[in-house]
């Protein structure tokens, strides 16, 4: 492989993996081994899956073409490179396509951070299904391997929020040959090696991190992924038809699934879909430090492909001056998909690899010396691990920090502090921020880490995620108690004062999470008022496929205890929860007033210091109510718009939910 060009070089197409037939031919290639189909714009940065996996395959000697955001209404775009020698690798992109397209209220989003110019409609709904079908049409018989977040989180039968139905495994709907779930470097490389050696795609079914459907006449093969000390049995989940009909069965399947996520002891899962059998092998083993370095040391240009002619890709703009230090999360938050995709084990790069990347960034004339983020899913979990590997190999605990921090967890922030110090001392680096968020219950245990953060790595605001204040809701989320946030906030304020800086916490809270009703949201509003927080934006709970909290939303049961959980599903109730979190907005007065009155909390209405809203509606609230009434009453324009198939609020009709 040719030596990478200097980061100062202009972004010519030959520095990128080919995205067109002309670019492929310019390399002297007559065919490619793998066509990587992705729903994202092609950015050659390790934060983008197509770049990372493409570079990994390239380093293994495979010829890879990238097909970013192809026209999907027919198979023409999928034929442009000719028949791939080995396979198509299909991904919806860095996000599930439905979450990418729709808000928590199921309204179409106005932008797409992974598309040039933030343009929408550059990928289809349920992109993995559509792309896989077009690959089949383009070249029948070429193996199709699906992967990425969308495929990972839909590998078993799952609840789909956008259709409010239980859907089968994505292997059924996409007809892909295999799903490579989790982080895909190892599994995709091994699949390509075997196919290149003349083996069939069915010969890859023994790999970790793979899910597949058995044919009607095929028998379940024998397997053995663990040594004799571990249980190699196969666990059967309640079948698709069973979990469609019975919510208790759905909750049971969720519990069984989540207890098999530790790759060191996770057992093979099977689930019946009619007369087919879904097989889900144990997850891939975590990468060690050398494996992480090998991936992130590859020759990424860190830039969007020139095909976009300089158009901004918002996700790239946000992360272009950031550095990934680690993967995975042992927090186990029930509403978060990171653990189910990246894994619970923390996989860290070496300091040498990270410093090498930063030095290369400083050579780029466009780099201004400011690192926007040095971290990962949780920045202060860098190099943290269980202190007893022999116990970790048997552990099935879903969170290392809830309900308390495990006594066996190594929580030393020393490696993180040392790394950040070395990065900020590099020539050409003016500032180093930690913007990816930190885990408060860990950070509060190390005063020196908090001192360093306050003095060097917070640009006035630090993001943290207490998520709620209700003890009931926090336990359902697997988040620490509010007292942890208060302790952390006090320590951070004191550290900032000692650093001579005026700095603030930006806490994130979630509305409409399972277990959170009006009373719980009033409790949160009182907390916000008492501490002077005014959230500009509200995070509305979105039930992502396969999450534990999604099971609660769908079934009304906590799958871990099988106890009932109240859930909020009506749009009107969701709007009430959002309004309570933003009680200070005048336009929310009527909604908040009604909620407080019905909950028997009129003591929070008035002029007192603890009151959330005044006794009388402000003029902005009256104006907003008049506007709503005018829209509801309708006029000639409104009536004609409805007749013409235009939405009542103007613009095109809302997309149908599938």
| pLDDT of 10 | 52
Q: Which residues contact 509 (CB under 8 A, 6 or more apart)?
A: 466, 467, 468, 524, 528, 535, 538, 539, 581
State mean pLDDT over 18-25.
97
608-617 pLDDT, tens digit each: 999 999 999 9
The structure tokens listed for 399 are 């969170």
Please report where in the chains the tokens 């409805």 appear, as a residue: 642
524-558 pLDDT, tens digit each: 999 999 999 999 888 999 999 999 999 999 999 99
| pLDDT of 656 | 38
Domains of the chain: 13-280 (3.40.50.280), 618-658 (no CATH)
- Of 435 and 96, the structure prediction assigns the larger pLDDT to 96
| pLDDT of 322 | 96
357-393 pLDDT, tens digit each: 999 999 999 999 999 999 999 999 999 999 999 999 9
CB 537 within 8 A of CB 527: no
Does the pLDDT at position 18 exceed 50?
yes
| pLDDT of 641 | 34
Q: Which residues contact 433 (CB under 8 A, 6 or more apart)?
A: 370, 371, 372, 373, 374, 457, 458, 459
Average model confidence (pLDDT) for the chain?
Answer: 92
Q: What is the DSSP string of 466-485?
A: EE---HHHHHHHT---HHHH
Q: Which helix (H) or strand (E) holds 505?
A: strand 504-511
| pLDDT of 228 | 62
394-425 pLDDT, tens digit each: 999 999 999 999 999 999 999 999 999 999 99
566-601 pLDDT, tens digit each: 999 999 999 999 999 999 999 999 999 999 999 999
Nearest-angstrom CA–CA distance, 490 and 483: 11
* Confidence band for 637, pLDDT divided at 50, 70 and 90: very low
Over its C-alpha atoms, the chain yields an Rg (Å, rounded) of 26
CB 432 within 8 A of CB 420: yes
| Stretch among 85-94, 285-294, 561-570, 641-650 having the lowest mean pLDDT | 641-650
């Amino acid at each position: 492989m040719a030596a990478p060009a200097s980061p100062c070089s202009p972004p010519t197409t030959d520095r990128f993996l080919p995205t067109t037939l002309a670019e492929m031919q310019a390399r002297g290639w007559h065919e490619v081994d793998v066509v990587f189909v992705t729903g994202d714009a092609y950015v050659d940065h390790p934060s983008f899956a197509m770049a990372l996996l493409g570079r990994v395959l390239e380093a293994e000697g495979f010829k890879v073409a990238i097909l970013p955001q192809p026209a999907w209404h027919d198979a023409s775009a999928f034929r442009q490179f000719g028949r791939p020698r080995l396979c198509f690798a299909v991904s919806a992109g860095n996000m599930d396509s439905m979450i990418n397209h729709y808000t928590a209220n199921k309204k179409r989003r106005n932008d797409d951070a992974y598309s040039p110019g933030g343009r929408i409609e550059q990928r289809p709904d349920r992109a993995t299904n559509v792309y896989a079908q077009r690959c089949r049409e383009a070249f029948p018989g070429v193996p199709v391997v699906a992967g990425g977040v969308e495929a990972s989180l839909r590998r078993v039968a799952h609840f789909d929020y956008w259709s409010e139905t239980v859907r089968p495994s994505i292997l059924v709907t996409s007809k892909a040959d295999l799903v490579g779930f989790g982080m895909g470097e190892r599994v995709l490389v091994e699949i390509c090696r075997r196919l290149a050696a003349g083996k069939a795609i069915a010969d890859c079914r023994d790999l970790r991190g793979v899910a597949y459907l058995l044919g009607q006449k095929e028998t379940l093969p024998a397997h053995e992924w663990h040594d004799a000390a571990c249980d190699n049995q196969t666990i059967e989940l309640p079948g698709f038809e069973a979990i469609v009909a019975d919510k208790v069965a759905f909750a049971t399947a969720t519990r069984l699934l989540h207890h098999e996520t530790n790759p060191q002891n996770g057992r093979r899962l099977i689930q019946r879909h009619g007369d087919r059998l879904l097989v889900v092998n144990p997850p891939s083993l975590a990468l060690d430090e050398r494996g992480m370095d090998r991936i992130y040391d590859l020759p990424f240009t860190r830039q969007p492909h020139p095909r976009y002619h300089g158009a901004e890709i918002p996700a790239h703009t946000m992360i272009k001056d950031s550095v990934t230090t680690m993967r995975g999360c042992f927090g186990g938050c029930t509403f978060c998909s990171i653990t189910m995709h990246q894994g619970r084990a923390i996989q860290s790069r070496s300091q040498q690899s990270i410093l090498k990347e930063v030095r290369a960034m400083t050579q780029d004339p466009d780099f201004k010396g400011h690192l926007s983020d040095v971290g990962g899913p949780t920045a202060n979990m860098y190099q943290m691990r269980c202190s007893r590997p022999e116990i970790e190999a048997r552990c099935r605990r879903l969170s290392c920090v809830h309900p308390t921090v495990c006594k066996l967890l190594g929580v030393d922030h020393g490696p993180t502090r040392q790394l950040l110090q070395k990065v900020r001392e590099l020539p050409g680096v003016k500032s180093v921020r930690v913007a990816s968020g930190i885990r408060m219950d860990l950070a509060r245990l190390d005063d020196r880490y908090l001192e360093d953060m306050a003095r060097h790595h917070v640009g006035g605001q630090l993001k943290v995620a207490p998520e709620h204040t209700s003890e009931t809701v926090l336990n359902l989320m697997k988040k620490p108690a509010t007292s942890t946030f208060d302790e952390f906030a006090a320590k951070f304020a004191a550290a900032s004062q000692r650093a001579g800086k005026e700095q603030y916490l930006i806490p994130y809270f979630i509305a409409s999470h399972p277990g959170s009703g009006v009373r719980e949201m009033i409790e949160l509003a009182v907390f916000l008022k008492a501490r002077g927080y005014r959230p500009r934006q509200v995070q509305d709970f979105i039930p992502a496929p396969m999450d534990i909290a999604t099971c609660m939303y769908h079934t009304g049961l906590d799958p871990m205890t099988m106890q009932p959980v109240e859930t909020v599903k009506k749009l009107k109730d969701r709007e009430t929860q959002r309004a309570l979190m933003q009680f200070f907005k005048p336009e929310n007065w009527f909604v908040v007033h009604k909620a407080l009155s019905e909950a028997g909390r009129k003591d929070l209405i008035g002029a007192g210091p603890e009151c959330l809203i005044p006794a009388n509606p402000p003029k902005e609230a009256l104006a907003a109510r008049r506007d709503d009434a005018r829209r509801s009453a309708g006029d000639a324009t409104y009536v004609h718009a409805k007749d013409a198939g235009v939405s009542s609020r103007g613009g095109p009709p809302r997309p149908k939910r599938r």
